[in-house]
């Protein structure tokens, strides 16, 4: 994944590569590793110079949630450039349409669907879109997450707790239940956790705890779905996306950090 990031973020990228952690199933191959071993360079939608010659995913179908920008879009793009047909999605039709056009312009076979991951009908719609267009699913990337507050765990409102668990954990499980009948032998499920899952820091604590849960979920699912389906988890460090801009602009986080921009308390740095 780190190789998918823009050139101007290269310093951060190499840092992220060192700091990110992953859980692997016995097959020990992840999308990140696949991306890291691809040869050549091309210019990604985010502006990075990388050429992708490898077409090892020809004939595969990949569904990626929250994939109209940031990490999800970069994953969808890389899977597509390596030959997979990709199904991208997010909450807003406009974002879906723009991302579809962007990927098509790169020669990628892509369709889009609106899918707020905590909406049961839209989750089913996403899986239906994949199956109607391509017949089956080989790769499912569960990438959506929310981080709506910096409140401490003891102050957190129940509605906020519900939102965090719904989007960050429950939706991954429910989407997988919808997708499971369409996953082929040899398929791969990738769950996006976070480095905060290993150490849920103040200001991001409850979000971090939901990401901790994904580490356990990955292990449990790997046991349940193997050997036909591999289940892996990626735990990125800081990646400069819209989601992460919260970390460098939120006053509470900056206060915890002590010095604006120093990053000393930002998880993953
Ligand atoms: N960036 C980091 O530093 C970092 C570090 C560790 C882990 N992560 C994890 O990486 C994942 C992606 O984060 P990112 O930084 O790439 O975010 P991002 O750049 O802000 O992108 C968010 C994407 O998700 C979509 N989205 C937001 N809420 C959604 C929902 N409820 N259902 C479906 N789509 C939704 C957005 O499109 P719409 O607005 O159209 O919905 C957009 O396409 C998250 O799981 C995050 O926890 C990020």
Cα 246 to ligand 1 centre (Å): 12
- The residue ranking higher by pLDDT, 220 or 251, is 220
User: Higher model confidence: residue 67 or residue 257?
Assistant: 67
7 has a pLDDT exceeding 60: no
Per-residue pLDDT band at 248 (split at 50, 70, 90): confident
Tell me what pLDDT residue 12 has. 33
Query: Does ligand 1 come within 6 angstroms of the Cβ of 95?
Result: yes
| Whether the predicted pLDDT of 42 surpasses 60 | no
Q: Are the CB atoms for 96 and 149 separated by under 8 Å? A: no
Q: Which residues, in sequence order, are bridge partners of residue 64?
A: 141
Other beta carbons within 10 angstroms of residue 267's beta carbon come to 23
CA distance 245 to 216: 27
Task: Give the predicted TM-score (pTM) of the model.
Answer: 0.84
Write down the mean pLDDT value for the chain.
83
State in Å: Cα 66 to ligand 1 middle: 6
Q: Which of 13, 66, 143, 242 to mutate to test the pocket of ligand 1 (most atoms within 8 A of CB)?
A: 66
pLDDT interval class at 48 (50, 70, 90)? low
The residues, any chain, with a CB within 8 Å of residue 225's CB and separated by 6 or more, are 180, 189, 231
Pairwise CA distance, residues 117 & 67, whole Å: 12
Distance (Å, whole) CA 84 – CA 157? 42
Is the pLDDT at 93 greater than 80, yes or no? yes
Atom number, ligand 1, closest to the C-alpha of residue 94: 40
pLDDT (0 to 100) of residue 18: 34
Length of the chain equals 269
Say how many Å lie between the CA of residue 228 and the centre of ligand 1.
28
The interaxial angle of helices 171-179 and 205-225, nearest 10 deg, is 20
Q: How far is CA 141 from the centre of its chain?
A: 6
* Nearest-atom index, ligand 1, CA of 247: 3
- pLDDT at residue 111 is higher than 70: yes
Higher pLDDT: 71 or 35? It is 71
215: helix, strand or coil: helix
Residue 254's pLDDT band, with cuts at 50, 70 and 90, is low
pLDDT of residue 51: 78
- pLDDT at position 114, please? 98
User: Which candidate, 19, 143, 147, places its Cα nearest to that of 75?
Assistant: 143
Does the CA dihedral 200-205-208-209 come out positive or negative? positive
Percent of the chain at pLDDT > 90 equals: 67
- Best of 70, 162, 166 for a ligand 1 pocket test (most atoms within 8 Å of beta carbon): 70
> What's the pLDDT band for 38 if we cut at 50, 70, 90?
very low
Other beta carbons within 10 Å of 257: 19
CA of 65 to the centre of ligand 1 (A): 9
Please tell me the distance between residue 240's alpha carbon and the centre of ligand 1 in angstroms.
11
The span from the CA of 135 to the CA of 165, in Å, is 31
Q: Which of 68-72, 124-128, 201-205, 244-248 has the lowest mean pLDDT?
A: 244-248
| 91 DSSP 8-state letter | S
The reply to whether ligand 1 has any atom less than 6 angstroms from the CB of 175 is no
Of the ranges 13-27, 53-67, 130-144, 219-233, which one carries the lowest mean pLDDT score?
13-27
Q: Is the pLDDT of residue 116 over 90?
A: yes
144 lines ligand 1 (CB under 6 A): yes
Number of CB atoms found within 10 A of residue 72's CB: 25
Residue 125, CA distances (Å) to 113, 114, 135, 238 in order = 7, 8, 14, 31
Distances (CA, A) of 109 to 56, 122, 224: 15, 21, 31
235, 243, 249: residue to mutate for ligand 1 pocket, most atoms within 8 A of CB: 243
DSSP string, 22-57: EE--TT---HHHHHHH--S--B-TTS-B------TT
Q: Which of 22-31, 205-214, 233-242 has the lowest mean pLDDT?
A: 22-31
pLDDT at position 250: 73
State the pLDDT confidence band at 258, using cuts at 50, 70 and 90: low
Catalytic residue numbers, as ranges: 207
Point out the ligand 1 atom lying closest to the alpha carbon of residue 116: 32
pLDDT of 157 strictly over 90: yes
Q: Compute the distance from residue 19 Cα to the ligand 1 centre, in Å.
A: 19
Indicate whether 53 pLDDT > 90.
no
pLDDT of residue 23: 53
Biggest CA-to-CA distance, the chain: 52
User: Closest ligand 1 atom, CA of 196?
Assistant: 6
């Amino acid at each position: 994944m780190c190789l998918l990031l823009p050139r101007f973020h290269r310093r951060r990228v190499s840092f992220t590569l060192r700091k990110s952690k992953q859980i692997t199933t016995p097959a020990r191959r992840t999308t990140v590793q696949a991306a890291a071993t691809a040869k050549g360079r091309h210019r990604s939608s985010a502006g990075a110079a990388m050429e992708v010659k490898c077409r090892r995913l020809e004939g595969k179908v990949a569904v990626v949630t929250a994939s109209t920008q940031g990490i999800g879009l970069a994953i969808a793009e890389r899977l597509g450039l390596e030959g997979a047909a990709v199904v991208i999605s997010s909450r807003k039709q406009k974002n879906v349409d723009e991302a579809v056009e962007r990927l098509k312009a790169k020669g990628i076979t892509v369709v889009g669907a609106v899918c707020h991951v905590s909406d049961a009908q839209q989750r089913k719609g996403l899986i239906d879109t994949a199956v109607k267009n391509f017949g089956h699913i080989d790769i499912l990337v569960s990438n959506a997450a929310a981080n709506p507050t910096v409140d401490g765990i003891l102050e957190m409102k129940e509605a906020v707790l519900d939102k965090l668990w719904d989007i960050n954990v429950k939706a991954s499980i429910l989407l997988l239940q919808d997708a499971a009948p369409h996953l082929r032998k040899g398929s791969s499920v990738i769950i996006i956790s976070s480095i905060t899952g290993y150490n849920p820091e103040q200001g991001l604590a409850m979000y971090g705890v939901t990401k901790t849960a994904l580490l356990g979920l990955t292990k449990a699912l790997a046991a349940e779905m193997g050997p036909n389906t591999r289940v892996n988890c990626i735990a990125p460090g800081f990646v400069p996306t819209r989601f992460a801009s919260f970390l460098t602009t939120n006053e509470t986080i900056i206060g915890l950090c002590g010095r604006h921009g120093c990053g000393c308390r930002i998880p993953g740095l």
